């Protein structure tokens, strides 16, 4: 998705605007949560997102977002099922027991963006494969390890290093490097990029108080490589067809450390076991 430049360091009034946007976005995810279950079509989840957002006077940031080989993004949310890494377009696909589904929501509230995603295990515990549970757990833990690695003035590369070290030591999965987290605020996507693997650019750049950004590790059960669907120009799948999971929070770096802005009331908290 296109990156735009905008103000990077926020004053206290602007920080409150971001907190407000992210609170609504987290509320929205909790509204959708009970419906993410077998038998529900992903386009129905998108309808709930769209109607709830508009009914509260806000804007779905994904809807008509520019880019993609086939034109602007056509829906109000991204719902990525099984081997889809990101940008999955809601459709008449009906969720099935054993699926994993990432629900990615971004809302514009009074001109400011809240952004987060969560991967759901679909069905009963005994219907979820071991690899589905493990890749989901890995992505969830990597999100919080990336957050914990940050501090005021830290190099951005500490995020990717913490994630890669954990995945190599405990899982051997693929960490997607082509798609990254990003700065966020009055614009959906802005500087700086937040890669989930260490890189020379990320080693040079730092996170200063007042900066808002997302951390959103995408973990593949097999290769880290991906392919984008040529037909719709958006849907990104794992190259080998194996599962992919992702979790995302919007973070504000404060003078005292990272503040998670998109914590839900009903979703899994740090340390949760799937």
- pTM for the full model? 0.96
Cα separation, 260 vs 226, in Å, equals 29
Residue 139 lies in a domain: yes
Residue 2 lies in a domain: no
Q: What pLDDT score was predicted for residue 6? A: 52
Tell me the pLDDT tens digit for each residue of 176-213. Answer: 999 999 999 999 999 999 999 999 999 999 999 999 99
| CATH classification at residue 154 | 3.90.230.10
Candidates 209, 192, 211, 216; CA nearest to 255 is 209
Q: Could you please report the per-residue DSSP string of 27-49?
A: HHHHHHGGG-STT-BHHHHHHHH
Q: What pLDDT score was predicted for residue 50? A: 98
Supply the mean pLDDT for the chain: 96
Instruction: List the chain residues with pLDDT less than 70.
Output: 1-7
**What total number of domains does the chain contain?**
1
Residue 197 lies in a domain: yes
Tell me the pLDDT tens digit for each residue of 54-74. Answer: 999 999 999 999 987 789 999
Domain that holds residue 34: 12-260
Alpha-carbon Rg for the chain, nearest whole angstrom, is 17
Residue 180 lies in a domain: yes
Q: Give yes or no for a contact between 1 and 189, defined as CB atoms under 8 angstroms apart.
A: yes
Residue 128 lies in a domain: yes
Residue 269 lies in a domain: no
Burial (CB count <10 Å: 0-12, 13-18, 19+), residue 35:
middle
Cα 129 to Cα 136, 213, 240, 267, 274: the distances in Å are 11, 33, 18, 21, 12
Residue 5 lies in a domain: no
Tell me the pLDDT tens digit for each residue of 35-57. Answer: 999 999 999 999 999 999 999 99
Cα separation, 170 vs 122, in Å, equals 24
Q: Give yes or no for a contact between 147 and 251, defined as CB atoms under 8 angstroms apart.
A: yes
Cα separation, 77 vs 176, in Å, equals 21
Q: Give yes or no for a contact between 177 and 196, defined as CB atoms under 8 angstroms apart.
A: yes
Residue 174 lies in a domain: yes
Burial (CB count <10 Å: 0-12, 13-18, 19+), residue 111:
exposed
Cα separation, 184 vs 203, in Å, equals 20
Q: What pLDDT score was predicted for residue 70? A: 80
């Amino acid at each position: 998705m296109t990156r735009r430049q905008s103000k990077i360091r926020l004053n206290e009034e602007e920080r409150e605007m971001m907190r407000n946007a992210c609170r609504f976005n987290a509320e929205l995810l909790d509204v959708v949560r009970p419906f993410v279950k077998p038998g529900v079509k992903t386009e129905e989840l998108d309808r709930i997102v769209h109607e709830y957002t508009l009914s509260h006077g806000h804007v779905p940031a994904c809807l008509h977002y520019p880019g993609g080989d086939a034109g602007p993004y056509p829906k109000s949310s991204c719902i990525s099922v099984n081997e889809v890494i990101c940008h999955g377009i809601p459709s008449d696909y009906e969720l099935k027991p054993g699926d994993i589904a990432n629900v990615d929501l971004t809302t514009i509230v009074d001109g400011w963006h809240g952004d987060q995603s969560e991967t759901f295990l679909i069905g009963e515990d005994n219907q979820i494969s071991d690899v589905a549970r493990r890749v989901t757990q890995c992505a969830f833990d990597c999100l919080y390890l990336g957050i914990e690695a940050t501090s005021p003035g830290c190099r951005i590369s500490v995020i990717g290093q913490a994630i890669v070290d954990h995945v190599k030591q405990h899982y051997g999965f693929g960490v997607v490097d082509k798609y990254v987290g990003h700065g966020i605020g009055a614009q959906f996507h802005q500087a700086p990029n937040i890669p989930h693997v260490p890189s020379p650019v990320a080693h040079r750049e730092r996170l200063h108080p007042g900066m808002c950004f997302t951390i959103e590790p995408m973990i593949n059960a097999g290769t880290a490589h991906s392919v984008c669907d040529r037909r719709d120009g958006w849907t990104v799948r794992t190259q080998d067809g194996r599962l992919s999971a992702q979790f995302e929070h919007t973070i504000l770096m404060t003078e005292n450390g990272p503040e998670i802005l998109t914590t839900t009331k009903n979703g899994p908290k740090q340390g949760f076991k799937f």
